[in-house]
Each structure stands twice: as C-alpha cells, then as structure tokens.
C-alpha cells in the first residue's frame, strides 16, 4: 500500500523556496494590476469632472493645478500597483527568474480575459506593461511577457451612451439644432446672448461654404458628447456631414468677467482643429468613458495626426509613448535610411539626431557638456516644462529609457559622436545600439536656418512669430533663458516653438534690470561690467547684442518687438503674474474672434 504524501510544511525534504504555481495565483495578480489601472482611470475622469466645475466658477488657477497634478497620476498609480504585488505576492524578488517565466505568460492570459468587456483595454494594457517592467526591471520592448502589440481590439468599442451626439438641422431647423447642441453640454452658467452667438455661427458658416452650396439628405452635425477643457477655455468638437463629406469644426466657449458664457468663434477645417491639438500646447481634460472612441472621432477630423499624439493631447501620455514606439518600429521595418546628426548648430548640452524619413528628433544629454550643469538638473528642467502650461510655444517631449536602435541604421558619423560625447548613455547589444535615456519630440526647422533661407515675407513672419512665442511664454510665467535663434524652431504650420530647456526659469524668479549708466569713460570702454550682477539678474537691453547682428533682422525686430529689449516690459509682466492675472493666449488667430464682428464684446478670458 503506497504511503500518503505529507504536506510541504510537514515534509523536511520539501523545497520551501520553490515558486508558488497554484492555478489561482496568475488570476489574482492580473486582478490586482487591473484594480490599479481602474483606480488610475477613475481618478483621471474625476479630474476632468472637476475641470468642468472649476471652469464654471472661473477658477483658472485651479484648472492649471488639476492639469499639473494629473500628469503625475500615472506614475503614482504604477508605483502603488508595484508595491501591492511586491507585498501580497512577493513579486520582484531576486532569484525569481524561473518563477517569472512560469507566472507572467499566465498573468497576461488572465488579464486579456478580464479586458474582454472593458471600456479602456488599450490603456489597461499599457498600464500592465508599466507594472510588469517595474517588477521585472526590463524594458518593455524586450519583454515577451507584455503587450508588444494590442491584445484586445478597440475598433468598434464605445460606451452605452454613444460618444457623440447627432443633430439634424434640415429636420428641426438650423437655429434649434445649434441651440440644442449647446444646451446638451449642461453648463451651469448663463450666456451673455446665446441667440446673438448662434447668429454669428450661422453667418460664419455661410461665409465658409461656397455660393449655391447644396445640403444633402444625410446632412447632420455630429458632436463629441463632452467638452474639452484647457486653461480658460471649453471647446465643443464636432464635424458637419453632408453627402458623405466631413467638415471638422470647433467652437471655443469662453467666460467673461461676470461669469457669463459666450461663443468666441467657430473654427472650420482640419488645419484649425490641428492647431488646438498642437504638440506645444497643454493637454486637454475630457470626461470620457471610452477614450478610443474619442480618438477614432478625432482621427476623422485630423487624418494626418498620429494616434500617439491624440492620446497624448487627451492626457494619456503613456499611451502616446506606447503607440509612438510601435509606429517607430513599423516605420523602421518599411524604410532604409539612416539615423544622422540633426542639422543645425550643435548644442552644448544635448546631442540631437534624427531619421530623415521620420518627423521626430531624438535628444540625449551629453556626458561632455559645454555648461557646468548636472544631468539631474537638465532632467528636472524638462520635467518642469512637462508639468507647466506650454502656451502653444514649448515643444512637448516623450521620455524613454533603454531604447534600441538597429546598428546598421545608425550613420557612422552619428555613432562616432555618441561614443565621443555620450559614452555612458550607449551600449552595444548584438545588432543594436541601446540608448539608456533620451527625449523624443516633433522635428522643426531650427529658426537660425529658417531665417538664412527665408525671403523677405517669410523672414518678417518668422520675426513676428519669434517675438509672439516669447510673449506667450511670458504669459505662462516662463522665461526661455537662452533666447538665441537656434533654440527655436519653425513648425510646418508656420509657428515658432521653443525647444531648449536647460536655462528656462519662471519669470517671477528672475530679476529684470536696466543697465546702469557708466560712471566714467573708462567704465564705458571696459570689457568687464561696472555694475554688480546677481545669479538671477537679466538685462533685456543685452538681448539685441546676441540677436540683432543682421541689419534686416534688427529692423524687423525693432518694428514688431522692440518692447522685449526694455526691462520695463518684463517687470510689468512680473507684476501681473504675481497679482494672479492669467493673460489670454488664444490657439487661433485674433482676427477670427466674433468680437471683431461686433461693436463691443465682453472682456476676453481665453484658452
């Protein structure tokens, strides 16, 4: 008769260090990770709901705090999930490789099953990847246990209440359809004069459509169910459908000083909508149950904008990173050009390279830097900009660690620069060059190069844009620090954007001074200043010395932006910021605003 087998607790020969391979363990781990994601998404929606309430109260500083706090939510929730897995399941301990090989594929299968009826499966998969990478200390693109490709389709996913509403103006009339469209957003504020605003919308639409425009049987207005909040604006986003053709449109809704609402303009066309979702602007706050449905809708309005940027602009920057990396891998598969050093004057701090066929640049911090600043300080500067309102004038970045690049696609000149200036940041691993830490952002034409090649009209446009960029950064309490042309870029939409962050500072932390007059003729001839200079002192009069050597550029600059050379301008901006004034920065031309059609309009409080 066979002997009965004792339990491990009773058997002194039992291996107590053997991994727990019970059938319910992978399911429990999967449920714990999904619970962490659900908490994250619930808090994200709560932030968007709070944004609506604060908009209705005119709490602009509160909206900015919400936007800033939300950016940190993701990493906080990942950290919480990792701590739970480490404490409850003893995951992440050293010497667990065999246990990992058995456990994680099963966790992933259980997780996919949990996502079958989930409303945000693509975001939940990215959260799974983040948690897994933190537990295993591996880069997600090397890890066979995670979602390298989507595991659950979102193609036809939507909420019980569809993500967008439909209005039929030929059935009920244009004015009633437009009025109901506004009413359905449920804003708890009165309007200054909604009938006047609706008349202005109709007039703008008539001007946009050609004479004799024919409305087809399928004529309809399709509008996303919730508003898009950012800074001092709420945006209605929709599309006009007629005979199968789509016309994107957006309506900014602003609030006057008395708490009353008004429609500021109507924006038609993909180009205008893309400007709202520009990579240099702060992220929107939108209360949505199914983000993928919103992204699908937005993609019809902006066909050329990648989904990675749309998710990022909706506040899901980790999802944007995931999709961007998948796009990069796909592009590498179907291209054969080489990564090269980016054109332009080489920076003292960052080494920048690009792939000519791919519209992004890759930036890493040099080991050998031309400035006495630490790597940690530079990273903190990029983090400062990430959390700040970029006012449409500072490029957003995606931050990555451990990114492999095919060695045979790296130009020898670039590889030599990497080895010379950033040897600690690269590692050769088989057929790949792995970069330990880098930033990725949209590629632009450096402004110094653009000015060299521009004709007279383009040069004047660039100078106007340059000054406007600085003034809009100032409105967001941001001083560029290094204002040289090479630190700004021209986008394909013709906007100037700043992208060099190692010297940025808050306007309120600077001490803007006028240069005191020389005491003697010797002072005036001296190579050294005859006055004391503190660590935060800035002398705007000196900007011209570095910027305006070209007479044609100087003439244009003095015509449009001479005030930037006056310390009084900067001191006045400081005063307003310290008093809590948030100056208006509009993501559309001033000429499009309805107030230009009227003899008088409420004081602007903009997006």
Catalytic residues: 396
The structure tokens 């005859």 sit at 530
Q: How far apart are CA 248 and CA 250, in angstroms?
A: 7
- Name the DSSP letter for residue 49: H
How far apart are the C-alpha atoms of 308 and 394, rounded to whole Å? 18
Distance CA 52, CA 256 (A): 16
Give the bridge partners for 445, in sequence order: 490
Helix, strand, or coil (residue 552): helix
Is the separation of the CB atoms in 309 and 319 below 8 Å?
Answer: no
Task: Scan for tokens 């006047």, then name that residue.
Answer: 196
What is the spatial distance between Cα 59 and Cα 540, in angstroms, rounded to a whole number?
33
SS3 track for 72-128: HHHHHHHHHHHHHHHHHHCCCCCCCHHHHHHHHHHHHHHHHHHCCCCCCHHHHHHHH
DSSP character for 191? B
Q: Is the dihedral of CA 12, 14, 18, 24 positive or negative?
A: negative
Q: Where are the beta strands (DSSP E) in 85-200?
A: 164-167
Roughly what angle, to the nearest 10 degrees, separates helices 456-475 and 567-578?
Answer: 40
Are residues 499 and 471 in contact, defined by beta-carbon separation less than 8 angstroms?
no
Residues in Cβ contact with 117 at an 8 Å cutoff, skipping those fewer than 6 apart: none
- Residue in this structure with the two tokens 């891998």, named with its chain if needed: 329
C-alpha pair distances (Å), 97 with each of 135, 141, 595: 12, 18, 66
Tokens standing for residue 136: 């295993």
* Nearest in space to 391 (alpha carbons), one of 326, 480, 517, 512: 480
Asked whether 360 and 395 are in contact (CB, 8 A), the reply is no
How many beta carbons lie within 10 A of that of residue 146, not counting itself?
A: 24
Q: Where are the beta strands (DSSP E) in 372-455?
A: 398-406, 426-429, 432-442, 445-446
Burial 254-290 (b: 16+ CB within 10 A, else e): bbbeeeebbbbbbbbebebbbbbbbbbbbbbbbbbbb
Question: Considering all CA atoms of the chain, what is the largest pairwise distance in Å, rounded to the nearest integer?
Answer: 114
Buried (b) or exposed (e) across 162-176, using 16+ Cβ within 10 A?
Answer: ebbbebebeeeebee
Residue in 340, 300, 299 with CA at minimum distance from that of residue 323: 299
Distance separating alpha carbons of residues 227 and 388, to the nearest angstrom: 22
């Amino acid at each position: 008769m066979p002997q009965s087998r004792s339990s491990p607790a009773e058997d002194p020969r039992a291996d107590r260090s053997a991994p727990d391979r019970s059938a319910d363990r992978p399911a429990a781990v999967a449920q714990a990770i999904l619970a962490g994601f659900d908490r994250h998404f619930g808090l994200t929606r709560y932030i968007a709901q709070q944004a609506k309430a604060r908009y209705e109260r005119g709490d602009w500083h509160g909206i900015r705090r919400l936007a800033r706090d939300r950016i940190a939510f993701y990493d906080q929730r990942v950290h919480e999930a990792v701590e739970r897995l480490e404490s409850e399941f003893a995951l992440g301990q050293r010497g667990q490789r065999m246990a990992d090989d058995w456990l994680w594929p099963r966790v992933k299968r259980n997780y996919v099953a949990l996502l079958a009826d989930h409303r945000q499966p693509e975001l939940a998969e990215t959260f799974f990847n983040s948690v897994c990478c933190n537990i295993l200390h591996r880069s997600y693109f090397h890890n066979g246990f995670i979602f390298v490709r989507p595991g659950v389709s979102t193609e036809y996913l939507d909420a019980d209440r569809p993500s967008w509403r439909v209005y039929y103006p030929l059935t009920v009339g244009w004015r009633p359809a437009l009025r109901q469209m506004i009413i359905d957003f449920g804003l708890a504020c009165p309007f200054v004069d909604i009938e006047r605003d609706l008349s202005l919308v109709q007039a703008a639409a008539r001007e946009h459509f050609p004479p004799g425009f024919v409305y087809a049987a399928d004529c309809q207005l399709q509008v996303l169910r919730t508003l898009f909040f950012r800074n001092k604006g709420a945006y209605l986003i929709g599309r006009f459908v007629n005979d199968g053709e789509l016309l994107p449109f957006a309506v900014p809704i602003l609030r006057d000083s008395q708490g009353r609402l008004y429609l500021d303009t109507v924006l038609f066309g993909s180009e205008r909508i893309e400007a709202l979702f520009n990579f240099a602007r702060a992220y929107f706050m939108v209360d949505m149950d199914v983000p993928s449905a919103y992204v699908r809708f937005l993609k019809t309005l902006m066909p050329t904008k990648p989904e990675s940027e749309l998710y990022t602009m909706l506040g899901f920057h980790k999802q944007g990173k995931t999709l961007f990396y998948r796009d990069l891998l796909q592009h590498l598969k179907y291209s054969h050009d080489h990564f090269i050093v980016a054109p332009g004057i080489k920076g003292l701090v960052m080494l920048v390279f690009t792939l000519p066929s791919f519209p992004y640049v890759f930036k890493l911090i040099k080991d050998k830097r031309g400035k006495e600043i630490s790597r940690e300080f530079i990273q903190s500067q990029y983090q400062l900009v990430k959390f700040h309102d970029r006012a449409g004038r500072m490029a957003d970045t995606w931050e990555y660690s451990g990114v492999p690049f095919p060695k045979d696609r790296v130009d020898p000149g670039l590889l030599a620069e990497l080895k010379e200036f950033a040897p600690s940041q690269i590692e050769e691993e088989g057929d790949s060059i792995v970069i330990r830490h880098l930033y990725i952002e949209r590629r632009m034409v450096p402004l110094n190069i653009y000015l060299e090649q521009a004709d007279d009209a383009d040069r004047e446009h660039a100078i106007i844009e340059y000054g406007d960029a600085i003034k809009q950064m100032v409105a967001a309490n941001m001083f560029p620090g290094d204002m040289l042309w090479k630190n700004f870029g021209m986008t394909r939409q013709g906007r100037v954007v700043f992208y060099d962050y190692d010297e940025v500072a808050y306007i309120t932390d600077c001490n803007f001074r006028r240069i005191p007059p020389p005491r003697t003729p010797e002072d005036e001839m001296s190579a050294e200043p005859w006055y004391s200079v503190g660590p935060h002192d800035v002398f705007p009069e000196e900007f011209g010395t570095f910027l305006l050597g070209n007479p044609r550029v100087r003439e244009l600059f003095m015509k449009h932006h001479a005030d930037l050379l006056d310390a009084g301008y900067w001191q006045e901006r400081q005063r307003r910021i310290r008093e809590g004034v948030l100056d208006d920065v509009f993501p559309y031309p001033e000429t499009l605003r309805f107030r230009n059609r009227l003899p008088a309009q409420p004081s602007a409080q903009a997006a």
